[in-house]
């Protein structure tokens, strides 16, 4: 195989697929990138067996062929050098020339690279979403998912069509985030699926989505990204989100800053912050063996008292971009829903937290505790 390509175009393609190559060498072939040169294009494929990516770039192909080269080494070599990229290889070794730099790399046979039918196989339904939706899922939803070593059916994002909306939901049992967009007509046939956390590029414009019960695939231009799905049944999150009616409006950045100050004395991740709202002022307090911290900010709404775990509240608040934030609550047992007042397409939920200090303000809670 022998081809020549412009550095910027081949670098862009390798950067896209390279991050989906396996990072360890337990199975050497999946730490490589599959390269196929034919016609006037060079095609690249990388996978860690759970996710796979493909891209291509224009090239002058002198000798068509296919082989596998170390993904990380090839990418580092091109990034560190300047000039046109030439690759010449036989069955054992490849010579990669970039401007005045030359690298020798080991070759593995293309025939040994895993077959990736999810990159090409048709799913149960195909539709298009705007690339901005996929980007937004990463910030507004995925942060609420279970950590990688947690409950397997919660470590991804639920995709579900519900009442004409395409919904994306993630929860770790302590916090929940739900985002929805108008469902494309063709998405009506999509099965409810759990999609692993995927590092999708910042695509602009329509992105083609192909979904089945086993995989989901995204395609934009020459770039294709596919992932196996998580097996399992996602909880009915609509039953978890309370219909809270009492509303509190406050400045989001002021609230985040105040939480940061009172959390300075917190001695554990599970430590809660007590909120007491009276006459337009919220007193936030934290009391631990380390010390005590009290802070105060303004708000609009009725008197209230709630307890929120710091490491639950901060990620939720940080996932919004709005200036003002709305907290809705009913009582200390139902938890708090958190909203952008100007965006009805999204709701987040902080699970209820029982703090013994609430008894000081809620007689009914004190009686129940006794």
Query: Residue by residue, what is the 3-state secondary structure of 7-76?
Result: HHHHHHHHHHHHCCCCCCCCCHHHHEEEEEEECCEEEEEEECCCEEEEEEEECEEEECEEEEEEHHHHHH
Residue 266 in domain: yes
Asked whether residue 321 falls in the same domain as residue 365, the answer is yes
Asked whether residue 199 falls in the same domain as residue 291, the answer is no
Query: What is the C-alpha to C-alpha distance for residues 226 and 219, in angstroms, rounded to an integer?
Result: 9
**Encoded tokens for 266:** 């917190």
Asked whether residue 86 falls in the same domain as residue 152, the answer is no
Query: What is the C-alpha to C-alpha distance for residues 4 and 313, in angstroms, rounded to an integer?
Result: 52
Residue 86 in domain: yes
Q: Look at residue 8 and tell me whether its pLDDT is greater than 90.
A: yes
Name the domain count of the chain. 3
Q: CA of 48: how far to CAs of 21, 86, 105, 115, 134, in Å?
A: 5, 27, 21, 12, 21
Asked whether residue 44 falls in the same domain as residue 57, the answer is yes
Predicted pLDDT at 361: 64
Residue 352 in domain: yes
**Encoded tokens for 149:** 């070593």
- Interval 245-255: pLDDT, tens: 889 999 999 99
Residue 206 in domain: yes
Predicted pLDDT at 370: 52
Asked whether residue 43 falls in the same domain as residue 98, the answer is yes
Task: Please compute Rg for the chain using Cα positions.
Answer: 26
Q: Following CA atoms 171, 176, 181, 186 in sequence, which dihedral angle do they give, to the nearest 10 degrees?
A: 20
Residue 99 in domain: yes
Q: Look at residue 120 and tell me whether its pLDDT is greater than 50.
A: yes
Residue 170 in domain: no
Predicted pLDDT at 110: 95
Residue 144 in domain: yes
Q: Which distant-in-sequence residues (6+ apart) come within 8 Å of 181 by Cβ?
A: 129, 133, 165, 166, 345
Q: Look at residue 132 and tell me whether its pLDDT is greater than 60.
A: yes
Contact 169, 178 (CB under 8 A): yes
Asked whether residue 249 falls in the same domain as residue 358, the answer is yes
Backbone dihedral angles phi then psi of residue 311, each to the nearest 5 degrees: -80, 0
DSSP 164: T
C-alpha angle 65-70-76 in degrees, rounded to nearest 5: 115
User: What is the reported pTM?
Assistant: 0.88
Domain boundary among 210, 236, 262: 236
Q: Exposure pattern of 166-175 as b/e (b: 16+ CB <10 Å)?
A: bbbbbbbebb
Predicted pLDDT at 305: 85
Domain containing residue 148:
117-162+181-236
The length of the chain is: 370
The fraction of the chain above a pLDDT of 70, given in percent, is 95
Q: Which distant-in-sequence residues (6+ apart) come within 8 Å of 331 by Cβ?
A: none
Residue 173 in domain: no
Asked whether residue 249 falls in the same domain as residue 310, the answer is yes
- Interval 313-346: pLDDT, tens: 999 999 999 999 999 988 777 789 999 999 999 9
- The CATH number that applies at residue 283 is 3.10.150.10
Asked whether residue 65 falls in the same domain as residue 79, the answer is yes
Asked whether residue 87 falls in the same domain as residue 138, the answer is no
Predicted pLDDT at 178: 97
Q: Is 151 exposed, middle or buried (0-12, 13-18, 19+ CB in 10 A)?
A: exposed
Host H or E run for residue 135: helix 131-140
Domain boundary among 236, 263, 281: 236
pLDDT grade, residue 362 (50/70/90)? low
Asked whether residue 262 falls in the same domain as residue 232, the answer is no
Asked whether residue 10 falls in the same domain as residue 76, the answer is yes
Asked whether residue 134 falls in the same domain as residue 231, the answer is yes
């Amino acid at each position: 195989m022998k081809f020549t390509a412009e550095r910027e175009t081949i670098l862009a393609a390798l950067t896209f697929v390279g991050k989906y190559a396996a990072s360890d060498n337990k199975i050497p072939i999946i730490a490589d990138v599959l390269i196929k040169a034919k016609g006037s294009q060079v095609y690249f494929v990388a996978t860690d067996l759970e996710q796979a990516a493909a891209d291509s770039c224009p090239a002058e192909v002198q000798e068509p062929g296919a082989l596998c080269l170390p993904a990380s080494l090839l990418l580092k070599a091109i990034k560190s050098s300047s000039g046109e990229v030439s690759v010449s290889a036989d069955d054992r070794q490849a010579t990669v020339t970039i401007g005045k730099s030359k690298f020798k790399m080991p070759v593995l046979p293309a025939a040994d690279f895993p077959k990736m039918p999810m990159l090409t196989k048709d799913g149960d339904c195909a539709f298009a979403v705007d690339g901005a939706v996929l980007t937004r899922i990463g910030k507004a939803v995925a942060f609420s998912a279970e950590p990688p070593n947690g409950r397997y059916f919660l470590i991804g994002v639920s995709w579900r069509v519900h009442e004409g909306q395409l919904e994306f939901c993630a929860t770790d049992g302590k916090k929940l985030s739900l985002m929805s967009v108008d469902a494309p007509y063709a998405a009506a046939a999509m099965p409810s699926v759990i999609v692993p956390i995927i590092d999708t590029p910042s695509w602009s414009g329509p992105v083609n989505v192909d979904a089945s019960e086993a995989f989901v695939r995204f395609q934009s231009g020459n770039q294709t990204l596919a992932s196996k799905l998580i097996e399992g049944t996602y909880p009915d999150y609509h039953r978890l989100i309370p219909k809270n009616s009492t509303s509190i409006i406050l400045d989001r950045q002021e609230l985040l800053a105040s939480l940061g100050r009172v959390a300075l004395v917190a001695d554990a991740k599970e430590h809660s912050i007590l909120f007491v709202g009276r006459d337009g002022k919220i007193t936030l307090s934290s009391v631990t063996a380390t010390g005590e911290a009290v802070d105060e900010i303004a708000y609009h709404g009725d008197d209230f008292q709630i307890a929120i775990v710091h490491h639950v509240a901060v990620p939720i608040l940080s996932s919004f971009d709005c200036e003002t934030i709305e907290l809705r609550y009913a009582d200390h047992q139902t938890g708090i829903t958190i909203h952008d007042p100007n965006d009805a397409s999204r709701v987040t939920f902080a699970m209820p937290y029982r703090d013994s200090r609430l008894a000081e303000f809620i007689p009914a809670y004190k009686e129940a505790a006794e």
